Every structure is written in C-alpha cells, then in structure tokens.
Amino acid sequence: MKFKWLFLCWMLVVLVVPNRVFAHASLVQAVPEANAKLAAAPAEVSLTFNERLEDGLFYIRVFDSAKKQITNAQAAMNATHTGVTLKLPSVGDGDYIVTYHIISADGHPVEGTYLFTVGQGSGSTSLPEDTMANMHHHGELNGQLEFSDIIQFASRIIYFIALLLVTGWAVWMHIGRFKEASVQEWLRKWNVGLQRLFLLAVIFMMYTHLNDVLGGGGAQDIAALFTKTGLGISWMVTLVLSLLGFVFVGRKLWVDVLWAAALLLAKCFNGHAAAFEPRSETIVLDFVHLAAAAAWVSGLLLLLRLYSHSKEAAASFYRTFSNVAFISILLLIVSGILSTFIFLPDISYLAYTQWGGLLIAKMVLVLLVVITASCIRLLFRKRNMSGLRPWLVLDSVFALLIVAVVGVFTYLNPLPANEPLHWHVMGERQHMTVQITPNVPGNNKFIVSVWLPEKLGKPKQLLLKLTDLDNPDIAPIEVPVTPFENKIPGEESYGMTKFSFQAEGRYLPYAGQWNIEVRVMDSNDDETVYDKVIRIY
C-alpha cells in the first residue's frame, strides 16, 4: 500500500511540474536561408535545429549549378549538439544547392534540400537527382506516400505487434497457472513461433529504415550507426536479445521477466521518450506503457487461442487475465495521459498535428476496448461460453488497430512545426513584404520591405507591431525597425523603389496567436495598414 501511494505521488509530480520540451528535430535557422539571394558568397553553411542531435551520422553537402559538389570537407557539430556547420571554399556567382542529413535525439532521420543564389545566379538550376534521392521528412504524413513509406509503416506496425506479443507471452507462460501438459506444450510451441516472428520483424524493420537513417552512406556510416548513435545501439541490443531468447526464454520466470524488460527498455531509448525532458520520467512512463500493453495484448491472444483449444482452460485463465487486463488498461490510460502532458506544452496542440489526430483515434479505440471488455466479463460471469468468441475477436481487432495507430504516430511529430514567415502583399500603389526568421518563440530577425512609386520617395513612417491575441490586456509590442540597404541582384522592382527596414530581438517572446500589423505612411501622409494573424508554437 505504501508503494502505491509513493507511485501515485510521483505520477502527480510528473504531471504538474512544467517542462520546456522538444521532439523530432526540425530546422529552425539556416544561414544562408532558403532561396536567399546574396551579393557575396558565404564563408559557411550553418544549420540550427530545435533539439539535440545524434553525434554519429550527419552531413551538409553543397552543389553548384552544374550539380558538382563544391567541397569534400566534413561538417562539424557545435558544442550543444544542436547545430552543424560546413566551411565553404571561395565560390563565384551562381545557384547553389544545400542538402543535409541528421538524426534527431529520438532516433528519426531528418533530411532536406534548399537553394540559395550568389550574384545574378543562373536562374535554371534544378535539384540534382542524387541529392533528392532518399529525401524523407518524417513528422507529418502527406497525400503522396510512396511504396517505400508504406512498407516502413507496415514494418513498424509488425514490429510493435511482435514486440508486445513475444514479451508478454514469455511471462504469461509462467504466471498463467496452466496445469495441463498439452496446454503447456502448446504454449512452448507458440513461444518459439513468436520469437521467430519477432526476429524477422526486427530484421525487416531495420532493413526498411536503414537507407533513410544512413542518408546514402556506406560501410563506414553503418559502423558509426551501430556504435555512435542511440538508435543503432538500440537496434543492436534488440537484435542480440532476440537471438538470446531462443536459448534462454521458457525456462525460468525471473530470466524471462528480465529478458522481456530488457527488450522493452531497449525500445524506450528509441523514440519520443528519448527526446523529451525530463528524460528519466519519459522513459519510465514509456516502459510502463509498453509493459502494460504487452500484458494486455499477449494475454488477449492467449485467451483467444485457449478458447479454441480448451474452453475450460480459457475460463480458468480468464480469472487471472481479467484482473491483469484491468490494471493494464488503467496503466495505459494514466501513462498515456502523463506522457501527453509532458510532450505538449499546450494540450490544444492536439488539434494542429496528425499526431494529435491519431492520438484521439487511439483514445476512441481504447474506449471501445473498455466497452468490449465489459461485455466479455459479463459473458464469463454468466458462463455463456458459446457467445464469447465474437467478442474476443472484436477485442483483438481493436487491440490490433491500436497497435497499428501506435506504429504510425510514433514516427510523427507531437509538436506543430514553426516555419519562417515570408508574407508578401501586392497592391495598386505599393507592395509590402514581411520576413520573420526563424519565426519561433524567442530571438528572431525581422525584415520589412516596401515598394513605393519613385516620385513619393522614402516612406515618412513605417511601424511594425505585434499583438498577442491570446492576451488582449497586453499592449502591442512595437518592433524598432531601422532602415538598411537590401538590394538583391536580379530582384523584381515592380517599377518602384524598394525601401527595407530590419530589427532583431525577442519581440515574439512566447508561443501563441499573434497579429502582425504593418503601417506604412508615404510622403503624402497616406497610410496603408496590413494585418496578418500567425501562430507560433
């Protein structure tokens, strides 16, 4: 009883203590920026991400308009492991392509490609095929899933199903209180079969993801993957444990419990739990979640198979399983809720991501499981064994759907992604552009450009105001922009004169909905007002 109260208190602490967290690395700043037009060649390409990166596999490559790599130098990671930099040789005018590859702290590969121009550029550069190959951005699903993407999601679903079944089954063999020799023999055969399935699932999952993780690397990168990255080490530990299972599992309860726990723990170090802070709490919650799911899913399969093999054995096993299943569902709900509160700084973010949509779908399925389980419990109490099978099958289908959802949404980003703002308005008398980079809470660079007829000269006044729409009592923040020369070679002038203003600072101090207001007063005292509502996360 004392332990239960301590566990409850610990859960409450995890829930109420606020934490600033990130998950799935995303690019927050690129220097030079995407589609930048530069008067002079940059000395380096620098990329900054929103979370810690794996140290083993990363690169930046830069190609010219002839699709030739301009340097073979290796990119360097900064001291905080949140950015990579590539020194560039002296280059001339032209279009240049930047392609990068990193692995985020949660073990997911992140890749991207963009262009920048020095001088006039060529105006005809296209992205080379070898840089676009294997360009995979996890985080959101789009409507153009390729066959390889479908295979990857299928491999993760199969892996999760096999993981839950093989770990739970190994323990149920000992605690299920099976006395019949025929049932024990049948359990051992199924245990071997599930271990074979899990080994194949691990190999299949690794094979389908290896190319994306390596980013086109060779044998040297394979060695770095399995020795320098948490993802590769997790894969290797899982593979070794799977092979050891054929030798040791099925003999002693304590051995099987340790083996199952080690497999589940290896998975915890490869996923969202490994990327969020506080890391120890997220990994514990993930382990509890996986262990509860393993007990429930494997027990449900065992009950369904026992029902076909021996209804008496099924009835005897259900008395043990029903209590374990109830506790498992309770732990799944509690650990899932606590993890969600840690992952999301604002619960409303569920409405803005596919991850949130799938989580809601999972919650609905869990509710259906609870309803179905209640019907199964009622039938067992009434000893109505003949009408039990459809309900067991239905419960199993819901369980498989939940695991399928997990196999997909564990590879999606729980947090909405911030993107640099480029807002351009064409008008009859003047044009206006606002650029905010990286457009995240904290420090940002603001550039406002206006195009006015030459006869009007420079604007008499230009104001940039930011209003927090979530807190109407707070007065608008005025950004102190100052004029600067922003002539870009080859840029369209619209038959007008361009005037640019800039500022840098923490004028977007926190996440939320913001209204961007630009007021431009020309030399005739005519004022034009522009408004745009944005949300930053």
Does pLDDT of 140 surpass 80? no
Q: Is 106 left (phi over 0), alpha (psi -120 to 50) or beta?
A: alpha
Residue 32: cis peptide before it, omega within 30 degrees of 0: yes
Amino acid at 366: V
Between CA 139 and CA 108 the distance in angstroms is: 9
- Give the pLDDT of residue 309: 76
Q: Which segments of 344-473 does DSSP mark as H helices, in order?
A: 354-381, 389-409
- Give the pLDDT of residue 130: 41
- Give the pLDDT of residue 133: 39
Strand segments (E) across 32-142: 36-38, 44-49, 59-63, 76-77, 83-87, 94-103, 109-118
Q: Which two tokens stand for residue 425?
A: 């308005």
Does pLDDT of 453 surpass 80? yes
Residues 6+ apart with CB under 8 A from 213: 57, 103, 109, 225, 231, 232
> Rounded mean pLDDT of the chain?
86
- Give the pLDDT of residue 141: 59
Domain residue ranges in the chain: 27-132, 147-409, 421-536
Average pLDDT over residues 467-471: 95
What are residue 67's phi and psi, to 5 degrees? Answer: 65, 30
C-alpha torsion angle, residues 257, 258, 260, 266 (rounded to 10): 160
Whether the model clears a pTM of 0.75, i.e. scores above it, the answer is: yes
Structure confidence by residue, pLDDT tens digits, 176-226? 878 777 788 888 999 999 999 999 999 999 999 998 888 876 677 888 888
- Give the pLDDT of residue 367: 94
- Give the pLDDT of residue 303: 92
For residue 517, give the nearest of 503, 536, 530 by alpha carbon: 530
In the block, tokens 């948490």 appear at 230
Contact between 109 and 149 under an 8 Å Cβ cutoff? The reply is no
Average pLDDT over residues 497-503: 94
* Burial call 214-252: b when 16+ CB within 10 Å, e when fewer: bbbbeeebeebbeeebbbbbbbebbbebbeebeeebbee
Does pLDDT of 481 surpass 70? yes
Structure confidence by residue, pLDDT tens digits, 367-407? 999 999 999 888 888 777 777 888 999 999 999 999 999 98
- Give the pLDDT of residue 51: 80
Between CA 158 and CA 170 the distance in angstroms is: 18
Q: Enumerate the β-bridge partners of residue 139.
A: 412
Among positive and negative, which fits the CA dihedral 37, 38, 43, 46? negative
Between CA 241 and CA 262 the distance in angstroms is: 8
Lowest-confidence range among 11-15, 225-229, 291-295?
Answer: 11-15
Strand segments (E) across 421-460: 421-425, 431-437, 442-452
Which of residues 248 and 224 earns the better pLDDT score?
A: 248
| CATH superfamily of domain region 421-536 | Domain of unknown function DUF4426 (2.60.40.3340)
Does pLDDT of 13 surpass 50? no
Which CATH number does 27-132 carry? 2.60.40.1220
Between CA 349 and CA 246 the distance in angstroms is: 44
Asked if 27-132 and 421-536 have one fold, the answer is yes
For residue 229, give the nearest of 346, 58, 458, 348 by alpha carbon: 58
- Give the pLDDT of residue 55: 82
- Give the pLDDT of residue 124: 55
Average pLDDT over residues 325-330: 94
Residues 6+ apart with CB under 8 A from 424: 431, 432, 433
- C-beta neighbour count of 44 within 10 angstroms: 15
SS3 for 51?
A: coil
- Give the pLDDT of residue 125: 54
Structure confidence by residue, pLDDT tens digits, 50-93? 888 888 789 999 999 888 999 999 999 998 888 999 999 998 88
Average pLDDT over residues 356-367: 94
Between CA 52 and CA 236 the distance in angstroms is: 22
% the chain with pLDDT above 70: 89
* Burial call 428-454: b when 16+ CB within 10 Å, e when fewer: eebbbbbbbbbbbbeebbbbbbbbbee
Task: Classify burial at 318, counting beta carbons within 10 Å of its beta carbon; exposed 0-12, middle 13-18, buried 19 or more.
Answer: buried
% the chain with pLDDT above 90: 53
- Give the pLDDT of residue 39: 83
Structure confidence by residue, pLDDT tens digits, 251-308? 899 999 999 999 999 999 888 887 788 888 999 999 999 999 999 999 999 999 888 8
Residues 6+ apart with CB under 8 A from 18: 345
Contact between 444 and 436 under an 8 Å Cβ cutoff? The reply is yes
* Position 509 confidence tier, pLDDT thresholds 50, 70, 90: very high
Between CA 452 and CA 460 the distance in angstroms is: 11
- Give the pLDDT of residue 123: 57
Contact between 21 and 342 under an 8 Å Cβ cutoff? The reply is yes
Average pLDDT over residues 156-172: 96
- Give the pLDDT of residue 108: 83
- Give the pLDDT of residue 143: 54
The CATH T-level fold of domain 147-409 is: Formate dehydrogenase/DMSO reductase fold (1.20.1630)
Residue 128: cis peptide before it, omega within 30 degrees of 0: no
In the block, tokens 């922009």 appear at 481
Does pLDDT of 23 surpass 70? no
Sheet holding 83-87, edge to edge: 27-31, 44-49, 83-87, 76-77
Between CA 331 and CA 502 the distance in angstroms is: 52
- Give the pLDDT of residue 144: 63
Lowest-confidence range among 121-135, 283-297, 403-417, 472-486?
Answer: 121-135
